[in-house]
Structure 1
């Protein structure tokens, strides 16, 4: 039911038409919020809606009038043709079925907020599904007792069906619990007291009820004089009761969400909130609009929570600690919502201030001591400053009493703890090949052979591997200084050494390229000389020999033409390969439907394949798009087919492709039952001028060109072959499915 509409909406993005039927009037804030909340939650599920709302106003009309109003309204919007109907509360749901309009029988209906479902009638409507908002009176009574102890609880009823069912249910739930149920109100001035309907036990709560129809407006207001009751209980939606809730001097609790958080004087209760109701309705609506059937679901009970209005809690001096765990509080002020967080934040801020002050004091003392020490060492550090160089990897050091002393920045850069390094330790972290060189230089330093010199060694200072360093040093300028020491700089030259290595590699590659060039020219001269010899030889025979028959002349001419074409193709292939590898050949990329490209290639070669070979096309029923140069793509597949024809004597040639969604690649293959390729030859097929059969026609450059084109298409070429059974050449390129 409705599958075609779902598919149409999914393709055209047309909003779904949603009809909402409300039992009462739009004066209820929960009713005005219901449609907006449903639309917002469906939009988060990427479902756009067009909503119409009808208010039955059931308090104003009798049953016959309600049915007529419902039928007339549904008849007026029949041309609008809603996709789904959402009915709220008992009266709207019952009237939708009872009015017998075709829309109520044919459209998918989801009801909610129904306290007393008409099960017999629902069995006749398989297009209905929804949620039973079963009132839990006893749970709410227990909530009042938790807050106030044994209580006197007042509730009002009337003669309507909903009120009768609620009153019957309360009697069933209260019976046997020790709580009393009494009909009537206190009239202390007239000494009138309620009558016991259900006797109770001492120290247990007592429930009082009366019908609002028996009370005048003045009587309603005088009910709570001298506070004869502990609390009120709203069992159904009754606008008179809602009016009393705002004027009563006792808290008003409810089992339904109508009137809650609506400035109607309702303190709280145990019920299905509007948020919960719209959540479950929106979830099921989305599932049904996406293709689920109403018969897939059973009518389930709505989840309930303890909910309270903060403004009413303040009015009756209720604190958050009095409430049950997991209670939800509406209209909670910012300072109450984040009360604990604000206290913790203030405490942490105070601790931070204390910490900052203490650290500043400590830093001041340390700074004072450090400045004093700097003044003492200023003269010695002057020599290091004269040797300072620009660059991030140059650090000062000195050799004093056979200890190497490096500046702190050296240790920071190498992620080491500052320390003095002995000569033995320095030799231990020196590369074995450089230890002898370093040791001899240090001996020369002590002997005074060098005043200034440099040495390059590999050191492993931080334990992360050897790096090249250059040590520069001199013995200073003041020869009279008794504490004269060797001072110098150490420079990290690892980057320079790596560049030297890269230059060596590039030099080796250049030499290798020169060798390849020589080999290429030699191969070229051989490949060009072969057809040229044939052309020149047969041309001379045609000119000089008069005894040649007409058939021989035709054979010679045919041979000359074939070799001319072969020579021309060889030169074209070489030029094309050169343009592709040098980057001078432009590729015109476009998004193409793969099935169309493969079909074009198939149609082009269908009549060119020899009749003794079967040409098969194998394409899966998928819409696959590829971003390629159409001409270069066709060139690669055509080369595969031509090679297959060249080496296939019987059997078939198959052209097809396979798409692997997880990889995001498509594999276009040409499979044949030809002579196949030996395993040792598979690695050579992409080499230039390589030909499996030296006597076969061709340049031996086709697959090398195809390999280069495949790489420019962000793909690759795969080969699988078995000698004597056939081969499969596959072009692997990126692809994606499309609708």
Structure 2
């Protein structure tokens, strides 16, 4: 007997487990009926709450949402709509129905369709439940959210004690009549407790709108009213001058100040959890219909509009709609749009019905014409793209070539005699050219980044394009852009051009400007002030960020001994006596001393000859020429000291330049006879030449940067950048150049990254210099770059190594120019000095901490916003 009982229990347990597993694995169809439209407040939240509840219950279900639009139809029309919804649900083989609010459930059970009596129904948001109906339908379960109008009335007079007239605002719907009854029941006890208040009922469909608007919309009447809405109606969306208290959470963000209800989506979430249990086999009758306790919900915008202190309601309920989003739905426009859309749909349907047969007869011919037109359009586009002067190549999402224009073929030096627009179609990306950055092919990386981010990517500066057959290469500029068709990414295009000539001219121009240190200036005769380029006024000991300075302010910084002469000279210019002139005088500099400047000017004639339209000119510091004159007559010891400093600088530079040049010349001579050396030795010679060329280029760049710093022409382009992205770029460019036995590491805070306002090029220059410096003194171990955000409003970028370290004495001079703690290492001793200048221009500070034999840590403290 015991054995049979054990087998029976085991069989029952297995059936229960298999039933549960099958229920969890099934994919059910759930119909969610909302009483209003998809433009009603929180309708998306209701759907999300139901889906989350089903997932919480462990059920996979396809939720189809239908909208009754109860505010715009009569009950008979609602029944017709509901029967159509039930018919569609029956065709989908719906397993369970969930309703939101009273209208949806009432219409579902009274539309005449048998579906709600055949499958489980879970209700939510029921304000006025019909207990007899629930008793007759054992397949119905769910939750109500009854409203306590006593709580709502007490909160209304607490917030607005001076308003003594209560207006119950309704329409002629069934729910409104039920709500009025509930308000009247609550009013009996409220009136006994507060006899000084009166209640007035207004029906927006029975009363004249002028009466209603005059009562609660005008300031001179509304100041004494409080509106109670037992059902949300579109009239509440108007900007009423009286505060509105309602009992439905969907009224939030629609002109209502306070609601007594559950938070949006709380009821549908609970309904979803219960629906999951029912789908897994539990009887709806075991749940019944329970009530979710409501609470006070406040609209932040309405609180602000009626000047209600937010802190006075925070502890009594929940404040919604905190983000200030001014979206008010105008219902009559929506109704008009729906009507016009329906009419347009009807006209289109009739037209389509009449034309359907005709389209079938001409469909084949139209298709051929379309194909022919598409071919013509493709050929036309090919001709247009081939007429573009910039190079253009397109790819599909599989990274295969689709189109190459003639300009790119000629740019790469390929034969254009046999050129066809699609002669390279189908070849993989990189088959005809590569794009290199720091020796790494980044072509496919750029294309994949566009596929991932779906936005254009600029080809990095100092990138090169190399043709694969002959190996010719050149600097390239351009971008990789996505190609969309109906919001779907279908391919990518590279638009580029050869910037060899532009880069050469730009560098020649920059070198000429930087070496000459000539600054333009202008005198505006209307504003009666001078305009100088940015940074030059600071050199004149004037810190006006506008770049403008009056003539009186300029006189204050002119040397008193030169002031009478300069005043007379400039007066002659303004009177037209000297249309082209040159004068030299001393101006105060930022150190408080005086510096000799030469000003050249030309007058642009105005309406009369004696009043020029403007005066243009250039200025240049001639202090060095004056200093040269002073040096010729200065004391012998000062001349000798200057000569010693000059000799020391030239000796240092000649030594630093001679070292890599000797290596370059020496190994280049060895390469004359390639047969005398093995391929490994030749490779080593080439690498040695490249390394010394890099060292020589770095030295020249340091000298040029020093020149820019001295002349004040170092440009800074400030913008917002992602610091993690900048540091990752530095890491990617440096990690392959680490010596053997040294690991380059990163230490970034967790998260999506940190945005700061800086010059990304100059910041990269600083970090690269610190890493290069660390690499010289780290034989083994690691070099770590990263940043921290321990101080609000500031970010600290650091480079830390495990190298030889710096003594305390050397740390005092480490940022001085030409100072080298180890004279045997490569470099001119300019890198850290340049880094310090760049960081100071970025309004930051740079510090160093080190221990001999334990390593060194450089920290750069930057403000998050330097604009």
User: What is the TM-score normalised by the length of structure 1?
Assistant: 0.39
User: What is the TM-score normalised by the length of structure 2?
Assistant: 0.34
